[in-house]
Protein backbone atom coordinates (compact mmCIF):
# COMPACT_ATOMS: atom_id res chain seq x y z
CA UNK A 1 0.00 0.00 0.00
CA UNK A 2 1.31 3.45 -0.94
CA UNK A 3 2.37 5.59 1.97
CA UNK A 4 0.90 9.07 2.18
CA UNK A 5 2.25 12.40 3.39
CA UNK A 6 2.49 13.07 7.12
CA UNK A 7 -0.70 14.82 8.23
CA UNK A 8 -2.13 15.79 11.63
CA UNK A 9 -5.78 15.75 10.58
CA UNK A 10 -7.72 14.44 7.61
CA UNK A 11 -10.92 15.60 5.91
CA UNK A 12 -12.68 13.07 3.68
CA UNK A 13 -15.45 13.26 1.09
CA UNK A 14 -17.01 10.59 -1.11
CA UNK A 15 -16.22 11.05 -4.81
CA UNK A 16 -18.36 8.63 -6.80
CA UNK A 17 -16.68 5.76 -8.61
CA UNK A 18 -13.26 7.00 -7.51
CA UNK A 19 -14.18 6.15 -3.94
CA UNK A 20 -12.98 8.73 -1.43
CA UNK A 21 -10.83 11.85 -1.49
CA UNK A 22 -8.91 13.05 1.55
CA UNK A 23 -7.25 16.39 2.23
CA UNK A 24 -4.62 16.32 4.95
CA UNK A 25 -3.43 19.22 7.09
CA UNK A 26 -0.30 19.65 9.17
CA UNK A 27 -0.37 22.46 11.74
CA UNK A 28 -3.56 23.73 10.07
CA UNK A 29 -2.05 24.07 6.57
CA UNK A 30 -2.49 21.94 3.44
CA UNK A 31 -0.14 18.95 3.54
CA UNK A 32 -1.33 16.59 0.79
CA UNK A 33 -4.18 14.70 -0.83
CA UNK A 34 -5.27 11.07 -0.91
CA UNK A 35 -7.62 9.17 -3.21
CA UNK A 36 -8.61 5.55 -2.63
CA UNK A 37 -11.46 3.30 -3.63
CA UNK A 38 -11.90 2.19 0.01
CA UNK A 39 -12.21 4.48 3.00
CA UNK A 40 -10.36 2.18 5.37
CA UNK A 41 -7.45 2.00 2.93
CA UNK A 42 -7.33 5.78 2.60
CA UNK A 43 -7.30 6.18 6.38
CA UNK A 44 -4.56 3.57 6.72
CA UNK A 45 -2.40 5.52 4.27
CA UNK A 46 -2.81 8.68 6.39
CA UNK A 47 -1.04 6.86 9.17
CA UNK A 48 -0.02 9.89 11.23
CA UNK A 49 -3.46 11.50 11.45
CA UNK A 50 -5.02 11.97 14.89
CA UNK A 51 -8.44 13.29 13.88
CA UNK A 52 -10.58 12.39 10.86
CA UNK A 53 -13.69 14.23 9.68
CA UNK A 54 -15.89 12.46 7.13
CA UNK A 55 -18.69 14.00 5.07
CA UNK A 56 -21.18 11.19 5.54
CA UNK A 57 -23.98 10.42 8.03
CA UNK A 58 -22.52 8.10 10.66
CA UNK A 59 -24.73 7.89 13.74
CA UNK A 60 -28.21 6.46 13.16
CA UNK A 61 -31.38 6.54 15.23
CA UNK A 62 -33.74 3.56 15.58
CA UNK A 63 -36.93 5.48 14.77
CA UNK A 64 -37.85 8.98 13.61
CA UNK A 65 -35.49 11.44 11.94
CA UNK A 66 -32.08 12.52 13.21
CA UNK A 67 -32.14 15.80 15.14
CA UNK A 68 -28.73 16.65 13.62
CA UNK A 69 -30.21 16.88 10.12
CA UNK A 70 -33.13 19.04 11.25
CA UNK A 71 -30.71 21.35 13.06
CA UNK A 72 -28.42 21.57 10.02
CA UNK A 73 -31.35 22.46 7.76
CA UNK A 74 -32.47 25.19 10.13
CA UNK A 75 -28.93 26.57 10.35
CA UNK A 76 -28.40 26.70 6.58
CA UNK A 77 -31.69 28.32 5.63
CA UNK A 78 -31.58 28.85 1.85
CA UNK A 79 -28.97 26.07 1.53
CA UNK A 80 -31.08 23.60 3.53
CA UNK A 81 -31.60 21.39 0.47
CA UNK A 82 -27.96 20.25 0.75
CA UNK A 83 -28.92 18.31 3.90
CA UNK A 84 -30.81 15.04 3.41
CA UNK A 85 -32.97 13.62 6.17
CA UNK A 86 -31.29 10.35 7.10
CA UNK A 87 -33.50 7.35 7.70
CA UNK A 88 -33.33 5.20 10.86
CA UNK A 89 -30.81 2.36 11.01
CA UNK A 90 -33.26 -0.47 10.11
CA UNK A 91 -34.02 1.12 6.73
CA UNK A 92 -30.35 0.92 5.69
CA UNK A 93 -30.37 -2.82 6.33
CA UNK A 94 -32.89 -3.39 3.54
CA UNK A 95 -31.66 -4.77 0.21
CA UNK A 96 -33.34 -2.36 -2.20
CA UNK A 97 -34.88 1.10 -2.41
CA UNK A 98 -38.53 0.00 -2.27
CA UNK A 99 -38.03 -2.03 0.89
CA UNK A 100 -35.95 0.73 2.46
CA UNK A 101 -38.54 3.38 1.60
CA UNK A 102 -41.33 1.22 3.05
CA UNK A 103 -39.33 0.66 6.24
CA UNK A 104 -38.61 4.37 6.49
CA UNK A 105 -42.33 5.14 6.11
CA UNK A 106 -43.05 2.76 8.97
CA UNK A 107 -40.44 4.33 11.26
CA UNK A 108 -40.77 8.04 10.40
CA UNK A 109 -44.11 8.56 8.69
CA UNK A 110 -42.37 9.49 5.42
CA UNK A 111 -40.61 7.57 2.67
CA UNK A 112 -36.86 7.69 2.14
CA UNK A 113 -35.85 9.77 -0.89
CA UNK A 114 -34.02 8.14 -3.78
CA UNK A 115 -31.23 10.70 -3.37
CA UNK A 116 -30.72 9.65 0.22
CA UNK A 117 -30.85 5.94 -0.68
CA UNK A 118 -28.07 6.52 -3.23
CA UNK A 119 -25.80 7.18 -0.22
CA UNK A 120 -26.31 3.64 1.07
CA UNK A 121 -23.04 1.96 -0.06
CA UNK A 122 -20.83 4.86 1.08
CA UNK A 123 -22.87 5.45 4.25
CA UNK A 124 -22.54 1.83 5.34
CA UNK A 125 -18.84 1.79 4.48
CA UNK A 126 -18.14 4.98 6.45
CA UNK A 127 -20.31 3.85 9.36
CA UNK A 128 -18.36 0.58 9.63
CA UNK A 129 -15.13 2.59 9.94
CA UNK A 130 -16.70 4.96 12.49
CA UNK A 131 -17.85 2.10 14.69
CA UNK A 132 -14.27 0.86 15.10
CA UNK A 133 -12.21 4.08 14.99
CA UNK A 134 -12.71 6.78 17.62
CA UNK A 135 -10.75 9.30 15.54
CA UNK A 136 -13.63 9.60 13.05
CA UNK A 137 -16.26 12.35 13.31
CA UNK A 138 -19.23 13.27 11.12
CA UNK A 139 -19.20 16.64 9.36
CA UNK A 140 -21.29 18.35 6.69
CA UNK A 141 -19.40 20.64 4.25
CA UNK A 142 -22.10 23.28 3.91
CA UNK A 143 -22.41 23.51 7.70
CA UNK A 144 -18.62 23.88 7.94
CA UNK A 145 -18.48 26.51 5.19
CA UNK A 146 -21.33 28.38 6.87
CA UNK A 147 -19.28 28.52 10.07
CA UNK A 148 -16.11 29.44 8.17
CA UNK A 149 -17.97 32.35 6.56
CA UNK A 150 -18.92 33.73 9.97
CA UNK A 151 -22.42 32.23 9.92
CA UNK A 152 -23.24 34.19 6.76
CA UNK A 153 -25.09 32.11 4.12
CA UNK A 154 -23.01 31.42 1.01
CA UNK A 155 -24.51 33.09 -2.02
CA UNK A 156 -23.55 30.59 -4.72
CA UNK A 157 -23.90 26.80 -4.99
CA UNK A 158 -20.76 24.70 -4.70
CA UNK A 159 -20.90 23.38 -8.27
CA UNK A 160 -20.87 26.88 -9.79
CA UNK A 161 -17.69 28.77 -10.69
CA UNK A 162 -18.51 31.58 -8.27
CA UNK A 163 -19.37 29.11 -5.55
CA UNK A 164 -16.12 27.24 -5.92
CA UNK A 165 -14.05 30.42 -5.91
CA UNK A 166 -15.93 31.63 -2.84
CA UNK A 167 -15.21 28.39 -0.98
CA UNK A 168 -11.56 28.27 -2.03
CA UNK A 169 -11.13 31.87 -0.83
CA UNK A 170 -12.72 31.05 2.54
CA UNK A 171 -10.36 28.13 2.99
CA UNK A 172 -7.35 30.29 2.07
CA UNK A 173 -8.43 32.87 4.61
CA UNK A 174 -8.32 30.13 7.24
CA UNK A 175 -4.77 29.19 6.22
CA UNK A 176 -5.72 26.25 3.98
CA UNK A 177 -4.27 27.25 0.61
CA UNK A 178 -5.07 24.57 -1.95
CA UNK A 179 -2.32 24.44 -4.58
CA UNK A 180 -3.09 24.36 -8.30
CA UNK A 181 -1.48 20.90 -8.47
CA UNK A 182 -2.81 18.57 -5.78
CA UNK A 183 -1.34 15.27 -6.88
CA UNK A 184 -3.75 12.40 -6.34
CA UNK A 185 -6.78 14.67 -6.01
CA UNK A 186 -6.13 16.31 -9.40
CA UNK A 187 -8.52 13.77 -10.97
CA UNK A 188 -11.35 14.39 -8.49
CA UNK A 189 -14.20 16.89 -9.15
CA UNK A 190 -13.42 20.30 -7.66
CA UNK A 191 -16.47 20.39 -5.40
CA UNK A 192 -15.42 17.10 -3.77
CA UNK A 193 -11.92 18.47 -3.15
CA UNK A 194 -13.37 21.60 -1.54
CA UNK A 195 -15.72 19.52 0.61
CA UNK A 196 -12.80 17.36 1.79
CA UNK A 197 -10.75 20.48 2.50
CA UNK A 198 -13.43 22.10 4.67
CA UNK A 199 -13.91 18.75 6.41
CA UNK A 200 -10.19 18.96 7.21
CA UNK A 201 -10.76 22.47 8.59
CA UNK A 202 -13.41 21.02 10.90
CA UNK A 203 -11.09 18.14 11.84
CA UNK A 204 -8.44 20.67 12.84
CA UNK A 205 -10.99 22.47 15.04
CA UNK A 206 -12.00 19.16 16.61
CA UNK A 207 -8.35 18.35 17.34
CA UNK A 208 -7.91 21.76 18.99
CA UNK A 209 -11.07 21.36 21.07
CA UNK A 210 -12.59 24.39 19.32
CA UNK A 211 -15.29 22.67 17.25
CA UNK A 212 -19.01 23.09 17.76
CA UNK A 213 -21.70 20.46 17.29
CA UNK A 214 -25.33 20.21 16.33
CA UNK A 215 -27.56 19.41 18.04
CA UNK A 216 -26.38 20.37 21.50
CA UNK A 217 -26.67 18.10 23.40
CA UNK A 218 -26.54 15.36 20.76
CA UNK A 219 -28.90 12.46 20.37
CA UNK A 220 -27.52 9.03 21.27
CA UNK A 221 -27.73 5.82 19.30
CA UNK A 222 -28.76 2.47 20.77
CA UNK A 223 -25.22 1.91 22.07
CA UNK A 224 -24.89 5.41 23.52
CA UNK A 225 -22.73 6.95 20.77
CA UNK A 226 -23.32 10.60 19.89
CA UNK A 227 -25.31 11.37 16.74
CA UNK A 228 -24.00 14.79 15.80
CA UNK A 229 -22.51 17.00 13.09
CA UNK A 230 -19.24 18.71 14.07
CA UNK A 231 -17.95 21.98 12.62
pLDDT at 30: 98
Task: Flag whether 231 is in a domain.
Answer: no
Are 137 and 204 members of one domain?
Answer: yes
Task: Flag whether 92 is in a domain.
Answer: yes
Tell me how far apart the alpha carbons of residues 149 and 88 are, in angstroms, rounded to a whole number. Answer: 31
Predicted confidence band at 1 (pLDDT cuts at 50, 70, 90)? low
Are 147 and 84 members of one domain?
Answer: no
Are 44 and 103 members of one domain?
Answer: no
Q: What is the mean predicted confidence (pLDDT) over 3-7?
A: 84
Are 207 and 97 members of one domain?
Answer: no
Are 82 and 196 members of one domain?
Answer: no
Are 140 and 117 members of one domain?
Answer: no
- The torsion angle over the Cα atoms of residues 194, 198, 169 and 184, rounded to 10 degrees, is -40
The three-class DSSP label of residue 38 is coil
Predicted confidence band at 218 (pLDDT cuts at 50, 70, 90)? very high
| Final residue of a structural domain among 83, 109, 130 | 130
Q: What letter would DSSP give residue 77?
A: G
pLDDT tens figures, 40-99: 999 999 999 999 999 999 999 999 999 999 999 999 988 899 999 999 999 999 999 999
Number of domains in the chain: 2
Are 122 and 155 members of one domain?
Answer: no
Strands 136-138 and 213-220: unpaired
Are 88 and 39 members of one domain?
Answer: no
Residues in the chain: 231
Nearest to 9 by CA among 148, 215, 228, 205: 205
| Percent residues over pLDDT 90 in the chain | 94
pLDDT at 41: 98
Are 51 and 115 members of one domain?
Answer: no
**pLDDT of 2 above 80:** no
Measuring CA to CA, how many Å separate 4 from each of 10, 38, 201, 209?
12, 15, 19, 26
Task: Flag whether 181 is in a domain.
Answer: yes
The three-class DSSP label of residue 22 is strand
Tell me how far apart the alpha carbons of residues 4 and 62 are, in angstroms, rounded to a whole number. Answer: 38
Q: What's the chain's average pLDDT?
A: 96
Task: Flag whether 80 is in a domain.
Answer: yes
Tell me how far apart the alpha carbons of residues 107 and 65 are, in angstroms, rounded to a whole number. Answer: 9
**CB-count burial class (<10 Å; 0-12, 13-18, 19+) for 27:** exposed
Task: Flag whether 101 is in a domain.
Answer: yes
pLDDT tens figures, 98-114: 999 999 999 999 999 99
Domain limits at 140? Answer: 9-57+132-213
| Final residue of a structural domain among 130, 151, 169 | 130
| Final residue of a structural domain among 130, 159, 178 | 130
**pLDDT of 35 above 70:** yes
Prediction pTM value: 0.95
Tell me how far apart the alpha carbons of residues 18 and 126 are, in angstroms, rounded to a whole number. Answer: 15
Are 33 and 138 members of one domain?
Answer: yes
Amino acid sequence: MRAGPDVDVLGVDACGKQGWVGIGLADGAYAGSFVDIRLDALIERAATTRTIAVDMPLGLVETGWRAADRAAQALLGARRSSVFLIAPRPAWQERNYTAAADRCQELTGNRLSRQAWALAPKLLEARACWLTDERIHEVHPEVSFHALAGAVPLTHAKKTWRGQQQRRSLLAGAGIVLPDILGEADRVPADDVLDAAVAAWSAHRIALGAAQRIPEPPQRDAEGRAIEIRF
